[in-house]
């Protein structure tokens, strides 16, 4: 370890100017690290504070129950809320079973090499930009069929898949090997062991991953632009047509010169971030419960 | 369920056991299919993007990549404006975010008392949870005007002799977009760095401290040396995120089809340009050149991510060897 600057002890005592310099550097490092952490906290506080300050006064019952206004009159974001809920719900239906199965394959069936390869595939898939995923679904499905909520959900599911699969796989790996062995030794088949023993033991961790990824995709705009963005400002439950969504509404309002629409954007953003924060708190709760369970057993 | 095992003679039990085995085969089959589907999906995305971009690639050739033009009237298109915007905003973000992220990670692992470290780590995580469209909204309506009125005039007065810090301040441009990207990649990079620093064996740092080095010297000499490949991967993953971000950049970069000489001036990036065209591109040529941009963006971010993965794999293998 020649990199370690291990000075001669005599140097420290004799040349105290060197010691003083080193102490100054040490002090500067400490202050810089503290300031960086403070800065990160301050940014979050400023962003959240602005959202509450600019958006809170807009929130009333109308805002949650009326669709976007066509001209002038006071409206709300009910259409976008419903659209987002439907699309995120469908994305979950598509992504969660596939992701959990991928994770089960990686931890219960695949050998270490295939498992490592799949991990890289998932990480690279996770790195594909959301806008590229949007273009992909556009080229695959929207061309020829037109925009629809189902295609938007498919695009979000693609983003969700690697997140849930990776977090589930990591949790399955820490399920104690003794549980598997005990179950298999009793003559229980592999799939019943997985279904009845492993998955219940890991459910807290799986839910943590699911909840965090739902919070992420609920705020994604880029994949929806090409798949479900051109929609009427009306409450609709028809999943075969484009539905308005919260992120796309915020985007178009944020670029509007009209202060009224900007105010709506702030309020809609406040609703979105409240949802995201609640989901993150929920994830922490599930994660804590899982840890207690695994430690308790 | 296992009671049947003791009566192997019963044909009923035999049937049952075969049924159980069928369940095993089915379950394995389904999970293999899911894993294969995920792999095929990645390939399909790459293939489909290139198939979509193919007409434009044939039309414009490779010179599209270094052509500085975007003129729907004269049908002249090139990607250089947007590659410049993507690379410059991401690089500025990287230069600011990397030291900050490492400092945050060191604060959380080395300096903060445990009771303070956990909540602050959560706050930094929450920073990553802010949707990009919300950060962009804040970026264009609050942060952008602040940058125009305070940060850019100050930068101009101090560093105005450099071309990138000269010119008129504006609320939407390269600099505001880069700073919003900085906010987006700090939580990613710092979370990975934190994990890395936690895993540095304490006997290594203790050894350095026992030899009389200060805490910073132990960090610089031992922790950084140990975690360097991991830090590189963390930085690359942050960079990949910055390259691919479309929405927040679209809101803050100003959407101007030119390479600005000043960082205060508006420009455009690959992701942002693609995002602006969602309402429907005008001519056929324009929409196919948008798909060409998407292909370039995909290649850039795939290369960044794959390199990061290779570093991670090598790092883990080397550590297992130790």
Residue A296 C-alpha, separation from nearest chain B C-alpha, in angstroms: 22
Q: Are A34 and B107 in contact, with CB atoms under 8 Å apart?
A: yes
HEC secondary structure over chain B: CHHHHHCCCCHHHHHHHHHHHHHHHHHHHHHHHHHHHHHHHHHHHHHHHHHHHHHHHHHHCHHHHHCCCEECCCCEECCHHHHHHHHHHHHHHHHHHHHHHHHHHHHHHHHCCHHHHHHHHHHHHHHHHCCHHHHHHHHHHHHHHHHHHHHHHHHHHHHCCCHHHCCCCCCCCHHHHHHHHHHHHHHHHHHHHHHHHHCCCHHHHHHHHHCCCCHHHHHHHHHHHHHHHHHHHHHHHHHHHHHHCCHHHHHHCCCCCCCCCCCCCCCCCHHHHHHHCCCCCCCHHHHHHHHHHHHHHHHHHHHHHHHHHHHHHHHHHHHHHC
Q: Do B306 and A254 touch (CB under 8 A)?
A: no
Indicate whether B30 and B130 sit together in one domain. Answer: no
Q: Is A94 helix (H, G, I), strand (E, B) or coil?
A: helix
Tell me, what's the ipTM?
A: 0.88
Indicate whether B142 and B35 sit together in one domain. Answer: no
Indicate whether B128 and B54 sit together in one domain. Answer: no
Higher pLDDT: A234 or B46? It is B46
Q: Are B90 and B242 in contact, with CB atoms under 8 Å apart?
A: yes
Query: What secondary structure letter does DSSP report for A255?
Result: T
What whole-number distance in Å separates Cα of residue A283 and Cα of residue A274? 14
B283 touching chain A per CB within 8 A: no
**A201: pLDDT strictly greater than 80:** yes
Number of A–B residue contacts, CB under 8 Å:
293
| Chain B partners within 8 Å of A133 (Cβ) | 45
Q: Select, from the ranges A53-67, B179-193, B206-220, B259-273, the one with the highest average predicted confidence (pLDDT).
A: B179-193
Higher pLDDT: B292 or B277? It is B292
pLDDT at position B65? 87
A29 touching chain B per CB within 8 A: yes
**A252: pLDDT strictly greater than 80:** yes
Average pLDDT, chain B: 87
Residue B99 C-alpha, separation from nearest chain A C-alpha, in angstroms: 9
Indicate whether B166 and B180 sit together in one domain. Answer: yes
Q: Are B26 and A105 in contact, with CB atoms under 8 Å apart?
A: no
The tokens of B273 are what?
Answer: 């340009």
Which whole number is the average pLDDT over B268-274?
92
Asked which of A232-241, B192-201, B298-307 is least confident by mean pLDDT, the reply is: A232-241
pLDDT at position B4? 46
Final residue belonging to a domain, choices B39, B60, B81: B60
For chain B, what is the domain count? 2
What whole-number distance in Å separates Cα of residue B140 and Cα of residue B177? 9
The tokens of A245 are what?
Answer: 């969504």
**B73: pLDDT strictly greater than 70:** yes
**B306: pLDDT strictly greater than 80:** yes
The dihedral through the CA atoms of B114, B115, B116, B117 has a sign that is positive
Which whole number is the average pLDDT over B4-27?
62
Q: Do B31 and A269 touch (CB under 8 A)?
A: no
Q: Do B129 and A43 touch (CB under 8 A)?
A: no
pLDDT at position A70? 67
Average pLDDT, chain A: 86
Q: Considering only residues 187 to 216 of chain B, which have any Cβ-Cβ distance to chain A shorter than 8 Å?
A: 187, 190, 204, 207-208, 211-216
Q: Do B302 and A5 touch (CB under 8 A)?
A: no
**B277: pLDDT strictly greater than 90:** no
Indicate whether B84 and B213 sit together in one domain. Answer: yes
- The domain containing residue B14 runs over which residues? 2-60
Indicate whether B17 and B71 sit together in one domain. Answer: no
Q: Residue B245 is part of a domain; what is its CATH number?
A: 1.10.3720.10
Final residue belonging to a domain, choices B45, B60, B75: B60
């Amino acid at each position: 370890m020649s990199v370690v600057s291990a000075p001669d002890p005599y140097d420290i005592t004799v040349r105290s100017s060197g010691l003083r310099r080193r102490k100054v550097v040490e002090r500067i490092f400490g202050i810089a690290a503290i300031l960086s952490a403070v800065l990160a906290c301050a940014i979050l506080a400023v962003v959240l504070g602005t959202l509450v300050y600019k958006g809170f006064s807009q929130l009333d019952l109308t805002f949650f129950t009326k669709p976007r206004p066509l001209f002038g009159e006071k409206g709300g974001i009910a259409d976008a809320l419903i659209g987002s809920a439907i699309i995120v719900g469908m994305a979950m239906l598509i992504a969660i079973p596939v992701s959990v199965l991928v994770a089960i394959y990686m931890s219960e069936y695949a050998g270490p090499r295939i498992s490592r390869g799949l991990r890289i595939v998932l990480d690279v898939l996770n790195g594909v930009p959301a806008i590229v995923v949007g273009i992909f679904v556009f080229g695959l499905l929207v061309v020829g069929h037109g925009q629809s909520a189902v295609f938007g959900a498919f695009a979000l599911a693609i983003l969700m898949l690697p997140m849930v699969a990776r977090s589930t796989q990591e949790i399955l790996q820490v399920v104690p090997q003794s549980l598997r062995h005990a179950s298999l030794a009793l003559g229980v088949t592999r799939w019943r062991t997985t279904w009845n023993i492993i998955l219940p033991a890991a459910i807290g961790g799986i839910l943590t991953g699911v909840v965090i990824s739902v919070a992420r995709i609920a705020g994604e705009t880029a994949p929806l632009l090409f798949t479900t963005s051109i929609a009427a400002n009306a409450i609709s439950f028809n999943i075969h047509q484009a539905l308005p969504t919260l992120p796309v509404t915020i985007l178009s309002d944020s670029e509007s010169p009209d202060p009224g629409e900007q105010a709506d954007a702030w309020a809609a953003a406040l609703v979105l971030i409240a949802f995201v924060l609640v989901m993150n708190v929920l994830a922490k709760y599930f994660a804590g419960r899982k840890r207690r369970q695994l430690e308790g057993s | 369920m296992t009671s049947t095992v003791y009566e192997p003679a019963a044909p009923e039990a035999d049937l049952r056991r075969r049924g159980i085995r069928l369940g095993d085969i089915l379950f394995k089959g389904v999970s293999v299919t899911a894993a294969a589907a995920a792999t095929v999906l990645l390939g399909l995305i790459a293939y489909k993007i290139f198939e979509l971009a193919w007409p434009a690639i044939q039309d414009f050739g490779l010179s599209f990549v270094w052509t500085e033009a975007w003129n729907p009237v004269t049908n002249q298109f090139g990607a250089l404006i947007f590659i410049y915007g993507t690379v410059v905003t991401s690089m500025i973000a990287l230069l600011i975010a990397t030291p900050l992220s490492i400092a945050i990670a060191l604060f959380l692992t080395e300096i903060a008392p445990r009771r303070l470290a956990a909540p602050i780590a959560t706050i930094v995580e929450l920073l990553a949870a802010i949707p990009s469209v919300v950060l962009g909204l804040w970026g264009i309506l609050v942060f952008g005007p602040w940058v125009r009125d305070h940060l850019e005039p100050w930068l101009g007065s101090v560093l105005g002799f450099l071309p990138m810090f000269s010119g008129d301040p504006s609320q939407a441009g390269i600099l505001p977009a880069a700073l919003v990207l900085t906010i987006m990649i700090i939580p990613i990079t710092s979370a990975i760095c934190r994990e890395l620093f936690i895993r540095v064996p304490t006997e290594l740092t203790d050894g350095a401290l026992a030899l009389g080095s200060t805490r910073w010297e132990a960090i610089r000499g031992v922790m950084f040396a140990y975690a360097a490949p991991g830090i590189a991967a963390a930085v690359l993953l942050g960079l990949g995120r910055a390259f691919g971000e479309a929405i927040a950049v679209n809101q803050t970069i100003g959407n101007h089809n030119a390479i600005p000489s000043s960082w205060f001036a508006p420009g455009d990036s690959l992701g942002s340009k693609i995002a602006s065209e969602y309402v429907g591109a005008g001519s056929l040529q324009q929409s196919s050149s948008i798909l060409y941009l998407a292909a370039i963006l995909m290649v850039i971010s795939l290369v960044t991510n794959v390199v990061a993965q290779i570093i991670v794999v090598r790092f883990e293998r080397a550590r297992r060897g130790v």
